[in-house]
Chains A and B, each alone.
Chain A
Amino acid sequence: MSALSTDRTTVPKRKTPRRESAGPLRYALLCLVLVVSLAPIIWPVMTSFKAVTEQVFGPSATLIPRAFSLDSYRTLFAQVPIWQYVRNSLFYCALAVISQVVLASTCGYMLSRKHWRGRWLTNLLITITLIFPFEAIMLSLYTQVRAMGLLDSVIGVWLPGMISAFNILVMRASFVSVPTALEESALMDGAGEFRRFWSIYLPSAKGALTIVALTAAVGAWDDFLWPLIVLRSDTNFTLPVGLATLQSSFGFDVKVVLAGAVVALVPVVALFFALQRFFFRGVESGGVK
């Protein structure tokens, strides 16, 4: 699991970058993988900009639209509460990121400290919960959330997954690797527990924190089975649930559904490109900026 950590300290820097022979064969293979990776992203983007009358399927269909048109997006925004879906999804993401970051860092921090009562028990609890597959407890979670009166609400979607044991372990691992010399100096200054956590440990664990935040955001944006179970009314749907309903309901043009898909794809891809610098920090062998 330590490979997930992007801290600069965990990956020894390569002193002399290996000379790569990036010949034509390699680029040919790279381009092949590139086409396979991006075709399912490019096709819906292209198709969503086709005019209502243009063919999507059949032998006469082309990849690039004959005429660029925003018709599908107009229909989408006029007839589907897509903004409501986006808002619900963003709300779910925000809640998930905040709870995961706050809880995983505080709990992970204390687990990286030694000598306190209950530490062993907490570790055991976290290890046990790590092996429960969510699908194996979702029926009981459903009855629990129903009993709390939280069915059909984004809060009900978020609450059971507010903290993941895995993220606690990621944060603990990164706090453990903080050099103790830093802390010794803080102890001399008489800094309290929270002060030490806030001004020494947390800044050193930025890489792991980014991973936790990013996986929480992408996980919430991607989540489908649980929101599908909890949410009932159209106005409370998150994007995946809303789009799945859109896809299975007849009467909507394929281009409109694909426009919805593009709306859901753009933010995550943009977020990834904004954060990719942090993301690949640990794995890039240098040079590429």
Chain B
Amino acid sequence: MPASTADSTVIERPGQVVHTAQPAPVRRSKSRPQLGAERFRKWWTPLLWVGPSVAALIAFSIVPFANTVGLSFTDARALGGPVRSVGLDNYRILLESNEFRNAVFNSILYMLIAVPLLVMLPLLVACLVNGTFRFGGFFRSAFYIPAVASTVVIAIVWQMALRDDGPVNAILTAVTPIQEAVPFLSDRWLLLFSAIALTVWKGIGFYMVLYLAALANVDETLYEAATIDGAGPVRRFFHVTLPGVRPMMYVVGVLSAIGSLRVFSEIYILGGPTGGIGGQDATVPFYIRNVGLAVDGKLGLGSAASVMLFVLTVGFLLASQRLGSKAEE
């Protein structure tokens, strides 16, 4: 990595000569930088510090994005070959494609169910483990474990547990009136709901930690005042805790919504490489991969779908910002 060797030229100790391609070696101690208004002796010194990161971000974010937008107007194939411009054809194909519409529907449904659960459940769990009490540290750590466990590994475990003859169905037949095996993994809706349950299960620990940080900042005296005024735990939750963590609820809502638009692994492992029977449970990232990277994938069409995913994400971010600023009023 040539960038990092460039970076090391910044190592400037008093009296040590700085090796650069520049003509005169510079001694650091000659004139002191002023406090407050920092000045760098060479205008390009800061660029050495940020250069490698900036180069990587340009090469692996900006360039591919520009490339994706460009490809979305062509009929490029994954294996190469002549590329022709096709105008907006790819977008028209997408909007008319049942497969793509279904994928967008699945992704949005995923978001609409997962986000409210991920905003509320971790908050309740955080309230449950917040504060100092016996075994509190143990419970906090244990509840975080799902967040560090690998999604694929957990999905493999769930896939086995949710089989028709798996332990979940065995428990259901034993303790509920349901006597027939529930088709968690083959039903069009149940598979999607199982994947959502997996996402939520894995997210509770992660968002719980964010909520714990927010709860630590809620003013203690407010609770005391509310208690003196005769408010029970439920009223304290609604009138002190909720207003105190509202900014964090917004952050959790945005993070989990963006996360649900990106869901892939859960569906891939639970529903198989096709994404459920006949791809009926495929999400947008699923569609992008299957269309763009099949044996001779339609790179152009996949790129158009990628641009749509980007539009969907940015559109959501803008909408949530409006909602967020409205909630502040």
Docked complex: B237-272 residues within 8 A CB-CB of A: 248, 251, 258, 261-262, 264-265, 268-269, 272
Q: A118-B50, A136-B65 are in contact. Are A57 and B165 (CB under 8 A)?
A: yes
Contacts from A to B (Cβ < 8 Å): 1, 3-4, 11-12, 14, 16-18, 20, 22, 26, 29-30, 33-34, 36-38, 40-41, 43-44, 56-59, 61, 102-104, 106-107, 109-111, 113-119, 122, 125-126, 128-129, 131-144, 159-163, 165, 168, 184, 187, 190-195, 218, 221-222, 224-225, 228-229, 239-240, 243-244, 247-248, 254, 257-258, 261, 264-265, 268-269, 271-273, 276, 279-280, 282-289
Of the 9-residue stretches B89-97, B110-118, B128-136, B187-195, which lies at the interface with chain A?
B128-136
Further contacts, 16 of them, CB under 8 A, given A38-B142, A136-B306, A279-B144: A17-B132, A18-B131, A18-B220, A20-B132, A43-B157, A44-B160, A116-B43, A144-B63, A187-B33, A192-B28, A222-B151, A224-B268, A240-B150, A285-B130, A285-B216, A288-B140
Q: Is the CB of A187 within 8 A of B35?
A: yes
Q: For B144, list chain A residues within 8 Å (CB).
A: 272, 276, 279
Q: How far is the CB of A85 from chain B (nearest CB, A)?
A: 12
Q: For B306, list chain A residues within 8 Å (CB).
A: 135-140
Q: Is the CB of B309 within 8 A of A136?
A: yes
Q: Is the CB of B216 within 8 A of A268?
A: no
Q: For A285, list chain B residues within 8 Å (CB).
A: 130-132, 216
Q: Is the CB of A125 within 8 A of B32?
A: no
Q: For B7, list chain A residues within 8 Å (CB).
A: 106
Q: Is the CB of A136 within 8 A of B310?
A: yes
Nearest residue, chain B, Cβ from A130: B61
Q: How far is the CA of A248 from the CA of B68 in the complex (A)?
A: 31
- Chain B 5-37, CB-CB to A under 8 Å as 1, else 0, gives 001001111100000000000001100110101
- Any chain A CB within 8 A of the CB of B123? no
Q: Is the CB of A119 within 8 A of B150?
A: no
Q: Is the CB of A163 within 8 A of B317?
A: no
Q: A14-B216, A115-B38 are in contact. Are A139 and B299 (CB under 8 A)?
A: yes
Q: For A109, list chain B residues within 8 Å (CB).
A: 49
Q: For B10, list chain A residues within 8 Å (CB).
A: 193-194
Q: How far is the CA of A239 from the CA of B143 in the complex (A)?
A: 24
Q: Is the CB of A163 within 8 A of B12?
A: no
Q: Is the CB of A107 within 8 A of B132?
A: no
Among B12, B133, B134, contact of A194 (Cβ-Cβ < 8 Å): B12
Q: Is the CB of A225 within 8 A of B285?
A: yes
Q: How far is the CA of A126 from the CA of B55 in the complex (A)?
A: 11
- Chain B 204-225, CB-CB to A under 8 Å as 1, else 0, gives 1100011011101100100100
Name the 5 nearest CB pairs between A and B, nearest first: A288-B137, A140-B64, A192-B12, A110-B49, A22-B133
Docked complex: B48-72 residues within 8 A CB-CB of A: 49-50, 52-54, 56-65, 67-68, 71
Q: For A140, list chain B residues within 8 Å (CB).
A: 63-65, 67-68, 71, 303, 306
Q: Is the CB of A3 within 8 A of B251?
A: yes
Q: How far is the CB of B152 from chain A (nearest CB, A)?
A: 4
Q: For B32, list chain A residues within 8 Å (CB).
A: 187, 190
Q: How far is the CA of A144 from the CA of B313 in the complex (A)?
A: 24
Q: Is the CB of B272 within 8 A of A248?
A: yes
Q: Is the CB of B140 within 8 A of A284?
A: yes
Among B50, B60, B133, contact of A110 (Cβ-Cβ < 8 Å): B50
Q: Is the CB of B265 within 8 A of A224?
A: yes
Q: For A244, list chain B residues within 8 Å (CB).
A: 152, 156, 268-269
Q: A110-B50, A240-B150 are in contact. Are A139 and B213 (CB under 8 A)?
A: no
Q: How far is the CA of A122 from the CA of B51 in the complex (A)?
A: 9
Q: Is the CB of A139 within 8 A of B46?
A: no
Nearest residue, chain B, Cβ from A29: B128
Q: Is the CB of B310 within 8 A of A30?
A: no
Q: How far is the CB of A92 from chain B (nearest CB, A)?
A: 13
Q: Is the CB of B143 within 8 A of A139?
A: no
Q: For B302, list chain A residues within 8 Å (CB).
A: 139
Q: Is the CB of B299 within 8 A of A143?
A: yes
Q: For A248, list chain B residues within 8 Å (CB).
A: 272-273
Q: Is the CB of B53 within 8 A of A163?
A: yes
Q: Is the CB of A116 within 8 A of B46?
A: yes
Q: For A117, list chain B residues within 8 Å (CB).
A: 43, 46
Q: A3-B213, A37-B142, A282-B213 are in contact. Are A193 and B132 (CB under 8 A)?
A: no
Q: Is the CB of B149 within 8 A of A144?
A: no
Q: For A116, list chain B residues within 8 Å (CB).
A: 38, 40, 43, 45-46
Q: For A11, list chain B residues within 8 Å (CB).
A: 213, 216-217
Q: How far is the CA of A117 from the CA of B302 in the complex (A)?
A: 39
Q: For A16, list chain B residues within 8 Å (CB).
A: 220
Nearest residue, chain B, Cβ from A133: B313
Q: How far is the CA of A102 from the CA of B248 in the complex (A)?
A: 29
Nearest residue, chain A, Cβ from B56: A163
- Any chain A CB within 8 A of the CB of B307? yes
Q: How far is the CA of A192 from the CA of B59 in the complex (A)?
A: 31
